[in-house]
């Protein structure tokens, strides 16, 4: 009997405990950033007729498909695709593409028009925009931003990517939000002043390695979901130049069951409402602070009430950043 008890105790003690690699204290940024996400191939974003003929119909390609190989050679940029098109006297090309994570092969029909070889396809190999940097882990130098995925606007699909950069961006003006019309930040950016690399584009945000120097003097404790309560909080964001300010909000709901829409909040800061009308595009990723703890990030606006928005738990972003 004693041997059985000892054996059971040994088994119980050998079960590993679940630990997280992220730090208990992190930098809550709020900085406006430029973002370029590179696609894992060449993305089909539209079609056109060539000589009044939709030649792309023969290939079976659809908007949103990702071309990954031409004549069994891997491609990742639009220029590489163009070189293949122009290298063989406008002969049809064997291509490989992915759709819904499945790989297919087809023949891309080409046709000359005005002595130019054409495909009937509009394509792109990267998406550029702006957003807000949420956090930097001072120990691992991993960052998180946006709190949601980067989506290609014409296809409405998440951009499959594990490559890209974040860089300097300066807010020039704000187009205010109105009921039914979300506004946006307008900004200029310098892609040569790189802040970090992008390693993941996920439904919980973009993540990567932060390479710019940062100030470790002010760190915020990471709040667990059960520490968050209804009531006052602030967001950190930029609405002019590169100036990060705090603006008051009110947490109205905490949802532990959703994957990304964990918080519902309302902006109560009159100065922010006067300047922006509420939440605008480009604020995604703005860190949410309560009692000097970072609890989450702004993700989406209520289109019919731009003073209200959703937020994601910071722990959800940090756990995704570990992957």
* Residues with catalytic roles: 148, 269, 284
Give the DSSP letter string of 147-199.
Answer: SS--EETTTTEE---SEEEEEEEEEEEEE--BTTB--EEEEEEEEEEEEEE--
30/49 Cα distance (integer angstroms): 45
Cβ(292)–Cβ(222) below 8 Å: no
Q: For 192-246, give the DSSP string.
A: EEEEEE--EEETTEEEEEB-S----SS-EEEPPGGG--SEEEEEEEESSBT-EEE
Q: Which residues pair with 136 in a beta bridge?
A: 27, 143
Q: Contact 114/53 with Cβ under 8 angstroms?
A: no
CA 60 to CA 104: how far, in whole Å? 10
- Structure-token pair, residue 41: 């191939």
- The contacts of residue 199 (CB under 8 Å, 6+ apart) are 162, 163, 207, 208, 209
Nearest to 314 by CA among 218, 220, 196: 220
| CA within 13 Å, CB half, 110 | 19
Residue 44 CA to residue 289 CA, distance in Å, equals 40
Pairing mode, if any, of strands 293-302 and 220-222? parallel
Q: How many Å apart are CA 212 and CA 33, to the nearest integer?
A: 12
């Amino acid at each position: 009997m004693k041997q059985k008890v000892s054996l059971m105790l040994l088994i119980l003690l050998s079960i590993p405990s679940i630990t997280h690699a992220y730090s208990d204290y992190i930098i809550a940024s709020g900085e406006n950033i430029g973002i370029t996400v590179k696609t894992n191939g060449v993305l089909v974003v539209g079609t056109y007729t060539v000589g009044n003929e939709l030649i792309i119909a023969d290939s079976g390609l659809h908007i949103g498909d990702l071309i990954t190989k031409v004549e069994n050679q891997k491609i990742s940029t639009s220029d590489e695709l163009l070189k293949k098109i122009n290298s063989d006297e406008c002969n049809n090309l064997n291509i490989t593409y992915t759709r819904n994570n499945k790989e297919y092969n087809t023949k891309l029909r080409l046709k000359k028009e005005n002595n130019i070889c054409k495909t009937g396809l509009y394509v792109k190999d990267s998406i550029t925009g702006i957003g807000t940097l949420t956090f930097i882990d001072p120990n691992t130098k991993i960052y998180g931003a946006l709190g949601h995925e980067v989506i290609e606007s014409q296809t409405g699909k998440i951009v499959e990517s594990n490559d890209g950069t974040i860089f300097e961006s300066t807010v020039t003006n704000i187009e205010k939000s109105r009921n039914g019309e979300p506004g946006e930040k307008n900004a200029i950016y310098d892609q040569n002043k790189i802040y970090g690399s992008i390693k993941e584009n996920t439904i919980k945000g973009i993540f990567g390695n932060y390479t710019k120097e940062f100030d470790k003097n002010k760190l915020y404790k990471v709040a667990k979901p059960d520490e968050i309560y209804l009531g006052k909080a602030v967001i950190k964001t930029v609405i002019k130049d590169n100036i990060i300010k705090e603006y008051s909000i009110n947490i109205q709901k905490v949802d532990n069951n959703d994957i990304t829409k964990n918080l519902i909040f309302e902006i109560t800061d009159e100065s922010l409402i006067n300047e922006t009308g509420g939440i605008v595009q480009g604020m995604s990723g703005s860190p949410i602070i309560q009692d000097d703890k970072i609890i989450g990030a702004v993700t989406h606006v209520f289109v019919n009430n731009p003073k209200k928005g959703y937020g994601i738990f910071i722990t959800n972003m940090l756990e995704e950043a570990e992957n």
